[in-house]
């Protein structure tokens, strides 16, 4: 399998210590992507080495998180990692763009938690990230919601020049999830050079926006580099 390596994290799975595996490759090119070096290629890593790392860490981790890149590009390897993690009694989480609804179905039996980006209102994907996949993401959301054992977090990275407050309000009316997180855009590593000078949105602006959509979504969080994750 091709990866961008692994790390141990205390923030990628709420309240748990997790091993995060970064899978290489992604069919999308979100202008703000901070993992751009992983989109085309990764380091060839035998599956058994990744399973070995999970086994060696299993005494002190609670969960395995598969991120990337897009984990569902390497579907078979992702399934093997999820199954193995569950066999060791670990929680599992997958970060995805939601662009592959049919593949999502195949991981749900081994996935406790999906964090799925809602990158734009469903009818504005092409305009905002350049790929017209809104319908796929909507379908993925419906499939995950049909599986009562999988927790669904929807999340949007708020990039001031790409999105506006009305877009977030439209998203809040279109989605159905266990929790919605507004994430602060950071410009330290971005795919599109034009975003290098775009400042991170102010945490107070994000919190005000989150309060405005809370009556619709009920459970809303804001994630910023200044304050970490805050429930609104």
What is the contact surface with ligand SAM in residues (CB under 6 A)? 26, 32-35, 67-68, 70, 95-97, 117, 155, 157, 183, 185-186, 190
Given the rule CB under 6 A, which of 62-70, 85-93, 133-141, 167-175 is the region that contacts ligand SF4?
62-70
> Quick one: what does residue 138 bind among ligand SAM, ligand SF4, none, with the CB cut-off 5 to 8 Å set by partner type?
none
The distance from CA 89 to its chain's CA centroid, rounded to whole angstroms, is 23
> Quick one: what does residue 63 bind among ligand SF4, ligand SAM, none, with the CB cut-off 5 to 8 Å set by partner type?
none
Given the rule CB under 6 A, which of 52-60, 68-76, 83-91, 100-108 is the region that contacts ligand SF4?
68-76
- The C-alpha atoms of residue 174 and residue 197 are separated, in whole angstroms, by 31
Under 8 Å between Cβ of 156 and 197: no
Nearest to ligand SAM of 113, 185 (CB atom): 185
Tell me how far CA of residue 209 lies from CA of 26, 85, 221, in angstroms: 30, 37, 11
Nearest to 231 by CA among 213, 215, 210: 210
> Quick one: what does residue 29 bind among ligand SF4, ligand SAM, none, with the CB cut-off 5 to 8 Å set by partner type?
ligand SF4
Token pair for 99: 């662009």
- The C-alpha atoms of residue 196 and residue 92 are separated, in whole angstroms, by 33
Nearest to ligand SAM of 35, 170 (CB atom): 35
Residues 6+ apart with CB under 8 A from 6: 19, 20, 21, 22, 50, 53
- Smallest separation, CB 226 to ligand SAM (Å): 13
Show contacts with ligand SF4 in window 92-151 (CB under 6 A).
97
Residues 6+ apart with CB under 8 A from 202: none
What burial class does residue 201 get, using C-beta atoms within 10 Å of its C-beta: 0-12 exposed, 13-18 middle, 19+ buried?
buried
Given the rule CB under 6 A, which of 7-15, 64-72, 82-90, 142-150 is the region that contacts ligand SF4?
64-72
Nearest to ligand SF4 of 61, 118 (CB atom): 118
71 binds ligand SF4 (CB under 6 A): no
Show contacts with ligand SF4 in window 25-54 (CB under 6 A).
26, 28-30, 33, 35, 39
Number of residues forming the site for ligand SF4 (CB under 6 A): 11
Nearest to ligand SF4 of 35, 57 (CB atom): 35
Under 8 Å between Cβ of 18 and 67: no
Residues 6+ apart with CB under 8 A from 105: 143
Q: Which residues here bind ligand SF4, judged by CB under 6 A?
A: 26, 28-30, 33, 35, 39, 68-70, 97
């Amino acid at each position: 399998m091709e990866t961008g390596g692994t790390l141990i994290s205390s923030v990628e799975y709420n309240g748990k210590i997790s091993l995060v595996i970064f899978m290489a490759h992604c069919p999308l090119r979100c202008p703000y992507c901070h993992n751009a070096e992983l989109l085309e290629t990764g380091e060839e890593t035998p599956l058994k080495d990744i399973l070995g790392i999970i086994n060696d860490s299993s005494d002190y981790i609670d969960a395995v998180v598969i991120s990337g890149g897009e984990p569902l590009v390497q579907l078979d390897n992702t399934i093997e990692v999820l199954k193995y993690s569950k066999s060791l009694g670990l929680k599992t989480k997958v970060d995805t763009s939601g662009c592959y609804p049919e593949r999502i179905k195949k991981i749900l039996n081994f996935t406790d938690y999906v964090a799925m980006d809602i990158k734009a209102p469903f009818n504005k994907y092409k305009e905002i990230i350049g790929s017209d996949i809104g319908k796929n993401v909507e379908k993925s959301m419906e499939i995950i919601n049909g599986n009562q054992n999988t927790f669904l977090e929807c999340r949007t990275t708020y990039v001031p020049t790409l999105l506006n407050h009305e877009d977030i309000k439209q998203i809040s009316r279109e989605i159905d999830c266990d929790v919605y997180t507004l994430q602060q855009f950071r410009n330290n590593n971005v795919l599109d050079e034009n975003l290098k000078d775009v400042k991170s949105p102010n945490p107070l602006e994000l919190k005000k926006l989150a309060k405005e959509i809370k009556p619709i979504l009920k459970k809303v969080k804001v994630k910023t580099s200044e304050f970490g994750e805050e429930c609104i």
